[in-house]
């Protein structure tokens, strides 16, 4: 609530009516923006960011992966990679695109690092028979797909 009314009674009435905050004029635009961002953070943190494809699910906030309610332990980078793929299923990404999206152009990371992490991710998914979700697209890159390719 942004208002010229500055009495304590007005403030209490507005907050009791459901306002998240109460700011009186004159006000600082920077403080207003900071308060808005704080409300958005609270809303975002309260929402469970959950992605599920078939029986594979990912909890973004807790950074946990499950298959049929069994947890799959992944490293932070493996989690980021799987999370990215599950947010963009069926789309093919080149090594370069994955380097940009996951490693953010880190100069220390080599081109074949993507292949190494894809291999690790598949190895960690294998005990749950989930490795087929991460598919190699010859000459293009990798994709996450729930469709089986040619009965591998």
| CA–CA separation, 152 and 142 (whole Å) | 16
What is the structure's pLDDT at 106?
A: 72
User: Backbone phi, then psi, for 5, in 5-degree steps?
Assistant: -75, 125
What is the structure's pLDDT at 114?
A: 92
What is the structure's pLDDT at 23?
A: 87
Domain ranges of the chain: 2-46, 50-144
pTM check: above 0.85? no
What is the structure's pLDDT at 48?
A: 60
What is the structure's pLDDT at 142?
A: 96
Q: Which fold has domain 50-144?
A: Arc Repressor Mutant, subunit A (1.10.10)
Per-block mean pLDDT, blocks of 10 residues, the chain (152 long): 87 84 86 83 70 93 92 96 95 93 80 92 96 95 82 43
* Helix axes of 95-102 and 76-87: crossing angle, nearest 10 degrees: 110
């Amino acid at each position: 609530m942004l208002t010229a009314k500055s009495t304590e009674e007005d403030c209490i009435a507005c907050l009791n009516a459901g306002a998240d905050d109460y700011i009186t004029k004159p006000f600082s635009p920077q403080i207003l923006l900071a308060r808005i961002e704080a409300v958005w953070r609270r809303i975002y943190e309260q929402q469970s960011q959950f992605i599920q494809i078939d029986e594979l699910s990912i909890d973004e906030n807790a950074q946990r992966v499950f298959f049929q309610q069994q947890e799959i332990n992944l490293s932070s980078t493996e989690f980021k990679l799987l999370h990215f793929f599950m947010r963009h299923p069926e789309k093919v990404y080149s090594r370069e695109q994955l380097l940009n999206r996951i490693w953010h152009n880190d100069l220390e990371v080599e081109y074949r690092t993507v292949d190494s992490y894809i291999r690790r991710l598949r190895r960690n998914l294998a005990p749950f028979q989930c490795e087929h979700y991460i598919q190699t697209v010859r000459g293009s890159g990798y994709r996450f797909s729930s469709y089986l390719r040619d009965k591998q």
